[in-house]
């Protein structure tokens, strides 16, 4: 598989970066933000984004063990908090959308752990990482490769 040379407009990249920053800031939990972005990137098989967010998570104090077990967070017991588990469940539901909607039960659990503004920022973060994943995967950008 070779990288494609499809150019990403700097205006689009700038707007996406601004949305990412606003969502992360509004969520107010940088470690959780990285977990969410890593989980969506795992689901979407986006090596570029996964590589970037693993590095950011480690720099932010996340442990290698939790990163290694993120793909199996549901079976990882108490390694992830209830709040983190709610965010990860919502991440999976928004990322996959196999039923065409986010199940009410998943949304309601997330709403118990996040205030209205935090939940809006969390959903925004999930939406933007999914967009980044699609931009990178469609262009086959390898880890460490040029984003635009």
Span 100-116, average pLDDT: 96
Q: What is the pLDDT of residue 116?
A: 97
Token pair of 105 as six digits: 């039960």
How many angstroms separate the CA atoms of 114 and 62, rounded?
Answer: 21
Tens digits of residue pLDDT in 16-38: 999 999 999 999 999 999 999 99
Residue 55 lies in a domain: yes
Residue 18 lies in a domain: no
Residue 59 lies in a domain: yes
How many angstroms separate the CA atoms of 61 and 81, rounded?
Answer: 16
DSSP string, 46-100: -HHHHHHHHHHHHHTT--HHHHHHGGGGGGSGGGS-HHHHHHHHHHHHHHH-TTS
Contacts of 67 (CB under 8 A, 6+ apart): 38, 54, 57, 58
Residue 9 lies in a domain: no
Q: What is the pLDDT of residue 143?
A: 86
Q: In whole angstroms, how far apart are CA 148 and each of 19, 31, 56, 136? A: 17, 26, 19, 9
The CATH number of whichever domain residue 117 belongs to comes to 1.20.1290.10
Span 77-97, average pLDDT: 96
Enclosing domain of residue 81: 30-139
How many angstroms separate the CA atoms of 68 and 79, rounded?
Answer: 11
Residue 23 lies in a domain: no
Q: What is the pLDDT of residue 100?
A: 83
Q: pTM for the whole thing?
A: 0.92
8 A C-beta contact, residue 42 and residue 50: yes
Residue 20 lies in a domain: no
Tally of domains in the chain = 1
Tens digits of residue pLDDT in 40-73: 999 999 999 999 999 999 999 999 999 999 999 9
Residue 79 lies in a domain: yes
Spatial CA neighbour of 91 closest among 68, 109, 112, 115: 109
Token pair of 37 as six digits: 């972005």
Q: Does the pLDDT at position 148 exceed 90?
A: no
Residue 13 lies in a domain: no
Percent share of the chain, pLDDT over 70: 94
């Amino acid at each position: 598989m070779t990288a494609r040379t499809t150019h990403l407009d700097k205006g689009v990249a700038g707007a996406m970066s601004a949305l990412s920053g606003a969502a992360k800031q509004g969520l107010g939990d940088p470690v959780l933000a990285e977990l969410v972005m890593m989980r969506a990137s795992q689901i979407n098989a986006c090596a570029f984004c996964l590589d970037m967010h693993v590095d950011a998570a480690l720099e932010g104090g996340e442990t290698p063990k939790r990163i290694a077990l993120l793909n199996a967070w549901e079976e990882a017991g108490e390694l992830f908090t209830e709040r983190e588990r709610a965010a990860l469940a919502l991440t999976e539901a928004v990322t996959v959308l196999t039923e065409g909607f986010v199940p009410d039960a998943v949304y309601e659990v997330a709403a118990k752990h996040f205030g209205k503004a935090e939940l809006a920022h969390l959903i925004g973060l999930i939406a933007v990482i999914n967009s980044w994943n699609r931009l990178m995967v469609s262009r086959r950008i390898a880890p460490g490769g040029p984003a635009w």
